[in-house]
Amino acid sequence: MKIRITIITVLCSMSLLSQEKDITTSLYDTYEKYKETSITKRRIKHQDIQPLISQYKGKEGYTVKKVGESIEGRSISLISIGTGGTDVFLWSQMHGDEPTATQAIFDILIFFDSDDFKTEKEEILSNLRLHFLPMLNPDGAEVFQRRNTLGIDINRDALQLQSPEGQILKRVRDSLNADFGFNLHDQSTYYNAERTAKPATISYLAPAYNYEKDINEVRSNAMKIIVFMNRIIQKYAPGQVGRYNDDFEPRAFGDNIQKWGTSAILIESGGYANDPEKQEIRKLNYVSILSAIYTISNKSYEAIAIDDYEKIPENDRKLFDLKIENINYPLLGNIYKMDIGIQRPEVDKKKHSDFWYSSRIMDLGDLSTYYGYETFNASGYTIKPGKLYPTKISSLNELTTIDIYSLLEKGYLYVTLNTISKEALASPAPINVVSSTFETPTDLRLNIGVNPTFYLEKNGEIEYVVINGFLINVKDKKGHFSNAMIFR
């Protein structure tokens, strides 16, 4: 008898899972139909999302409420749909430079406003009330920074509640007394799933609500939803999920929201190869969050074993944009073998609507426990400093008329521009532009923080160059390149 009941339970949960698999697959396959195409870059602002919010004002079934203002007076809105008894609250961009889920929220809203998936949507909206709060920190978004205008991290303000943005989050959570809370963030692209070269494209946490890290029903429900979403991400980005350390942080919102009785699910959007604007990750947010909403509405998550939560690999931070292995580094008459770890930090342009890369050597030596989005085994190659091209140029435009690759092949990695305008930030061509007073390095001294510009020589020939952290094969002209530097 017992066995038969178990079999029936397994069959039931299997059919539920396959049902969800189906909706997940359909959501993934039809995503482009629901994508909000006016916001496809990470540097989105308050003004970009106002028309998107406004279109739901007065619409049947929707409640759009202004729930407060940021320090600089930007409105913060809550969009609610559904008539069910379970409240699900989703808020994004508490950190101003973490916009991926804000974009996904508007995709999800388009999904609900469409004519498709009628049965599933009826089920969701009759069982749940969904509440979306996109961009909790619009002042931070304006200047693409983590913190708010007070200079504080809103996510450490859950107890003191000094920031109006933190007060809004607390007030809305309390007024809804939400059953589920999705705390939506972005994390550094340099996180990986521990002991693998896979980026942590998505990381999860069901935050602890006390130092003992106890698991009550509120927290275990969050864990179950995470296990459910992890399975979905594994399908589309295998191995690219991390689990955050669950040490209790008494000041953080996630931890307190869990404590206040809302099952808190932290989702962090990390990195994905060749996806600088995180649009693939946005899609994964859309698919996994919508699927999670569906599983909450039909309660199929209840059968999930929380043991699987601990099986998700831990988050680690061991990725570089470019890792060069086993290079020969000549120094003061000797040759040393080492690895080089390179990152390409972004520098914002004026008005924080765009950026350029200013790369850095982040580590040197034995980096065998680290990984790269791009890894180059430089065994047999010797690293050499770039040379200054003897002919000066008179404008940045002139770079488009020169065969840059023929210069790179000869080791010329710098070119002099007579007058560099104030506005010029970066070189659009794979060669660094320097002023006439700039001293081009004649010997190469690698160190932390140094801009990675050098060439790799083998048997007296130059095959590869690294310009501002971008590796370029000079023979076949292949390599991922965005911009070189201007040195004044």
Residues contributing to the site for Zn ion (CB under 5 A): 95, 98, 185
**For residues 185 and 198, which CB has a smaller minimum distance to Zn ion in the complex?**
185
Kindly state the smallest distance separating residue 207's Cβ from Zn ion, in Å: 13
Kindly state the smallest distance separating residue 196's Cβ from Zn ion, in Å: 23
Kindly state the smallest distance separating residue 375's Cβ from Zn ion, in Å: 28
324 within 8 A of 376, measured Cβ to Cβ? yes
Distance (Å, rounded) from C-alpha 367 to C-alpha 27?
40
3-state secondary structure the chain: CHHHHHHHHHHHHHHHHHHHHHHHHHHHHCHHHHCCCCCCCCCCCHHHHHHHHHCCCCCCCEEEEEEEECCCCCEEEEEEECCCCEEEEEEECCCCCCCHHHHHHHHHHHHHHCCCCHHHHHHHHHHEEEEEECCCCHHHHHCCCCCCCCCCCHHHCCCCCCCHHHHHHHHHHHHHCCCEEEEEEECCCCCEECCCCCECCEEEECCCCCCCCCCCHHHHHHHHHHHHHHHHHHHHCCCCEEECCCCCCCCCHHHHHHHCCCEEEEEEECCCCCCCCCHHHHHHHHHHHHHHHHHHHHCHHHHCCCHHHHHCCEEECCEEEEEEEEEEEEECCEEEEEEEEEECCEEECHHHCCEEECCEEEEEECCCCCEEEEEEECCCCEEEECEEEEEEECCHHHHHHCCHHHHHHCCEEEEEECCCCCCCCEECCCCEEECCCCCCCCCCCCCCCCCCCEEEEECCEEEEEEECCEEEECCCCECCCCCEEEEC
Q: How far is CA 175 from CA 164, 168, 260, in A?
A: 16, 10, 12
Cβ-based neighbours of 255, under 8 Å, separated by 6 or more: 158, 207, 208, 209, 248, 249, 264
Distance (Å, rounded) from C-alpha 303 to C-alpha 439?
67
Helical packing angle, 2-29 and 217-236, nearest 10°: 60
**For residues 98 and 120, which CB has a smaller minimum distance to Zn ion in the complex?**
98
Q: Residue 356: beta bridge partners?
A: 347
Kindly state the smallest distance separating residue 98's Cβ from Zn ion, in Å: 5
Kindly state the smallest distance separating residue 436's Cβ from Zn ion, in Å: 44
Kindly state the smallest distance separating residue 132's Cβ from Zn ion, in Å: 17
Kindly state the smallest distance separating residue 108's Cβ from Zn ion, in Å: 19
Kindly state the smallest distance separating residue 95's Cβ from Zn ion, in Å: 4
Kindly state the smallest distance separating residue 155's Cβ from Zn ion, in Å: 6
Q: Residue 185: beta bridge partners?
A: 268
Kindly state the smallest distance separating residue 337's Cβ from Zn ion, in Å: 39
Kindly state the smallest distance separating residue 291's Cβ from Zn ion, in Å: 23
Kindly state the smallest distance separating residue 97's Cβ from Zn ion, in Å: 8
Kindly state the smallest distance separating residue 253's Cβ from Zn ion, in Å: 10
Determine the residue with CB nearest Zn ion.
Answer: 185
Distance (Å, rounded) from C-alpha 124 to C-alpha 20?
13
Count CA atoms closer than 13 A to 84's CA, side-chain side.
24
